Structure 1
Amino acid sequence: MSPTTRRRLLESALAGGLVGLTGCSGVSNPASGTTGAPSTGSTPTTATDEDEESGAGRPAPLPESVALERLATGLEAPVDVAFAPDADRRYVVDQPGRILVHESGTLRDEPFLDLGDAVEAGGEKGLLGLALHPGFAGNRRLFVRYSAPVREGTPSSYSHTFVLAEFTATEDGTRAPLEGERTVLEIPQPQPNHNAGSVAFGPDGYLYVGVGDGGGSDDQGEGHVEDWYDPVEGGNGQDVTGNLLGGVLRIDVDGRADGKGYAVPDDNPLVGREGFDEQYAWGLRNPWRLSFDDGDCFVADVGQDEYEEVNLLERGGNYGWNVKEGTHCFEADDCPDETPSDVRGGESLIDPIVEYPHSGDDVSGVSVIGGHVYRGAAIPGLRGRYVFGDLEADGRLFVSTRAEGDGSWSTDVVPLGGDGDDALERLLSFGRDGEGEVYALGRGEDGGGVYRLTPDG
């Protein structure tokens, strides 16, 4: 598929020209002075042998299909959902710029947060991510990631400004007043695509922020810098000194240092070395969604023309873009598997745990949509497995099972039963509640909706 064809597919994926898409092991242990483990809405307890078939300790057989329980419809482009730790309440992010409250079986008329004209939406821009603070039940703090019109400090020729902002919800948890906004971080975005958008608290209490490579194709064009790899000109993914694009950031939102709205953890990999201290990993193209499971962080990174990938995040990891697309050399017949010794001492280009092509049978698609490891009780055959999908859902989800050792995970197709094909014509995101149940978000015949995965039949 050519870059032009793929771009047109993504731009037309949703009504109104909204979302066009994109995608952690080795996460540090809890550090002193952090807020502790995430709330129950973020990280359920890890499965034990009781979650698996008795006897051999093997996972239960995969279900032949799964069904979707409709929770909410009528949204424009639902791209994220967060679960209140202290109430039966869900916060649904709609890309044009609103967060809605779902409780008592319905969406509240009054939005939780309406950013209005503060958000520049369209294509891959908009309100893209939400993370509740680990202490949300007590402090009501939350963090959102959105695209804003060009702000001071962003070149006038650039597309927009990446904004990470903090809000405080009301005591009853139903509203987040606009006047309480605090800007935490701004990043100039040279082009309108490859914005990533996912934000998530890790088990160390720090906030992990996915950042795309700056847009365009090939990791080139305006806003892209020179890097060490000559066969493909330039690239923010392989550079850690020119800007904060093309990786995953890790910051302490409970601290303030150096005039910034956050502090940098002392054990970030570039602290005391050349490069931006905020960077935790790099070599990513468009990490649309990331999620944690018991210390592992899964980063789904959208490819360009041929391959999609899911990675396990490592401290200081280099995931290869734009030297590689997945495990394959990009725009070259041959390419290295590591950086030169004069580039951060030499570092391996880490292969994904999951890769699938843009053409072929079964596991194929156009843009990976990162999911979650299932830890619920409703569908035993999914327990302990990573559930994800593709923007072009085609009546199916993907389920990956951990490999022995450090190899690639096996990936299977699980069909959507019932009217799942009509409900999710375009898959946009996933969520996981405090009980470990997984939710799918996307667009179908009823517009944008939120659905809980349930047994089929």
Structure 2
Amino acid sequence: MKKTLLSALLLCGSMAFAQTIALQSFATGFTNPVEITNAGDGRLFVVQQGGQIKILNEDGSVNSTNFLDISTLITEGGEQGLLGLAFAPDYETSGHFYVYYNNTDGDTVVARYSRSSTNEDVADAASAEIVLTMDQPQTNHNGGCIRFGQDGYLYIAKGDGGGGGDQDNNAQNVNSLLGKLLRIDVTGTDTYTIPEDNPFVGVDGEDEIWATGLRNPWKFSFNRLNGDLWIADVGQEEIEEINKVAPDAAGINYGWRCFEGSEVYNSDGCSLVEMYTPPFAEYTHNESDGCSITGGYVYTGDTYTALQGKYVFADYCNDKIGIVATDGTISWSAEFSGSLATFGEDIDGELYVAGKNNGTVYKITDSTAGLENVTNAVFSLYPNPAKNQVTVNLNAESATLAVYDLGGKILMQQELHNAENSVDTAALQQGIYFVQVSHNGGSTLQKLAIN
């Protein structure tokens, strides 16, 4: 039997749940979805590889009118098409957003568009302004992800140009934009300018480059709480890698083609003194049945406490959700379906994932299946099972009580100051819950049944 429980995350001391990731269908009917993002409000914007951007509303409905359709401008198929979307930090006032696509020549284009002045659910298709065009030698390894960092600059992930093995050594060539993470300033009156602290300003190398040594970074993201940069880089033959660095870490060399993950791939011409940054986490194709990583996000939402601070990703080939713990270890979910090709984060930090082949956007949930490290030395409670009220006997001067559902979602909190405390549970539906009492930096936990 395949293992389906993910590693436990310690919550507030001794409380820990064993996680089971589930996918809840949120919306269907998309065609080759490859990006999901938000514009600073409750809507999600779903990018279709064929050139359309659709609006997915909070209630799961999809607008019948496309937000934007640039299907006549692109080359679609394989790894090409409309691949990326990013809304400017000041989108609410400026209405500017950016797209990443392969034009009819197959080359990479980053372009700026504006929102319609009369309808916030529609873009002005005539507002297009080309920001950057880059040669794409082969049809694969396009990268395609674009994001704004907390510094306000636009970051652009570019693959090594395609083929196999980076035969032209693009990723290690600082005079090529291929195999790089780029960083540009699009806030001024010029199409774009170069931030002064980009690592190759004033020295040999393209000024747009922020990081080197990437093969095909299929999705990167910034932790919305601390700005940490996470890059998922698709491997060549054996290893998929996940990179994590601080937001101000400039000039990082992630190692490709000298390294695939942490293993030497092709050291010909590689410098013995170059500082290569190894992956924060990695997995092999043999151990995972995977072959192509789909990058995701660090979960920063409030709904699933056990997921907080963990990086959530997938593999396109094994259709499993992976979770990277804070120590870099990886755990896997059960196998899903649909070829999981892209993640999305809503304004509250809740996560979504899309199946490219079945056109479904799922909401990621965490349904707790077990409990670890249960003790109750600090308190006792009765009756259990209970109905509308439970009494908590406290063996301490004061403490904080919290009640969680099986998914790790906090439902209620109460300060405890007496040896005997009454807790109103009338709002809880019939089922099993966890009561946590925190005291002096530690915590203890007990199951509670509501009849």
TM-score normalized by the length of structure 1? 0.74
1:342-353 equivalences in 2 (<5 Å): 346-353=273-280
Deviations 1:93-141 (A, max 9, x none): 0111100011242111110000021010000000001001101112111
Aligned counterparts of 2:266 and 2:94: Cα–Cα separation in 1: 49
AA in 2 matched with 1:358: H
The answer as to 2:363 corresponding to 1:452 is yes
The answer as to 2:382 corresponding to 1:426 is no
Task: Tell me the residue number matched to 1:83.
Answer: 38
Aligned counterparts of 1:73 and 1:92: Cα–Cα separation in 2: 11
1:358-369 equivalences in 2 (<5 Å): 358-360=285-287, 363-369=288-294
Q: Of residues 131, 156, 160 in structure 2, which corresponds to 1:184?
A: 131
Deviations 1:390-441 (A, max 9, x none): 00244x31000122xxxxx11111236xxxx2xx330101111121111111
Aligned counterparts of 2:165 and 2:82: Cα–Cα separation in 1: 25
The answer as to 2:348 corresponding to 1:413 is no
Q: Of residues 48, 52, 73 in structure 2, which corresponds to 1:94?
A: 48
**Residue 62 of structure 1: how far off its partner (Å):** 4.1
1:306-317 equivalences in 2 (<5 Å): 306-313=238-245, 314-317=249-252
Check the 8 A contact 2:11/2:306 in 1, yes or no: no
Aligned counterparts of 1:124 and 1:309: Cα–Cα separation in 2: 19
Aligned counterparts of 2:313 and 2:241: Cα–Cα separation in 1: 11
RMSD between aligned alpha carbons?
1.9
Check the 8 A contact 1:282/1:317 in 2, yes or no: yes
Aligned counterparts of 2:339 and 2:252: Cα–Cα separation in 1: 31
Count of aligned residue pairs for this structure pair: 353
Aligned counterparts of 1:250 and 1:276: Cα–Cα separation in 2: 11
Check the 8 A contact 1:268/1:277 in 2, yes or no: yes
Q: Of residues 313, 332, 340 in structure 2, which corresponds to 1:388?
A: 313
Check the 8 A contact 1:369/1:389 in 2, yes or no: yes
Task: Tell me the residue number matched to 2:182.
Answer: 249
The residue matched to 2:113 in structure 1 has which SS? Answer: strand
Task: Tell me the residue number matched to 1:15.
Answer: none
The residue matched to 1:177 in structure 2 has which SS? Answer: strand
Check the 8 A contact 1:192/1:215 in 2, yes or no: yes
Gaps of 5+ in 1: 1-50, 151-159, 225-234, 341-345, 404-408
1:164-203 equivalences in 2 (<5 Å): 164-171=110-117, 172-203=119-150
Task: Tell me the residue number matched to 1:32.
Answer: none
AA in 2 matched with 1:431: G
Q: Which of structures 1 and 2 has the bigger CA Rg?
A: 2
Q: Of residues 233, 245, 250 in structure 2, which corresponds to 1:301?
A: 233
Which one has a larger percent helix, Structure 1 or Structure 2? 1
Aligned counterparts of 1:290 and 1:162: Cα–Cα separation in 2: 18
Aligned counterparts of 2:71 and 2:170: Cα–Cα separation in 1: 31
Runs of 4+ in 1 over 6 A off after TM superposition: none
Gaps of 5+ in 2: 1-8, 368-405, 407-451
**Structure 1's 176 and 365: CA in aligned 2 closer, same or farther, altered over 3 A?**
same
The residue matched to 1:138 in structure 2 has which SS? Answer: helix
Which one has a larger percent strand, Structure 1 or Structure 2? 2
Aligned counterparts of 1:67 and 1:322: Cα–Cα separation in 2: 36
Higher RCO structure (Cα 8 Å, ≥6 apart): 1
1:60-75 equivalences in 2 (<5 Å): 60-63=16-19, 65-75=20-30
Check the 8 A contact 2:114/2:124 in 1, yes or no: yes
Aligned counterparts of 2:180 and 2:289: Cα–Cα separation in 1: 24
- Shifted more, 131-140 versus 164-173: the winner is 164-173
**Residue 364 of structure 1: how far off its partner (Å):** 4.3
**Residue 377 of structure 1: how far off its partner (Å):** 2.2
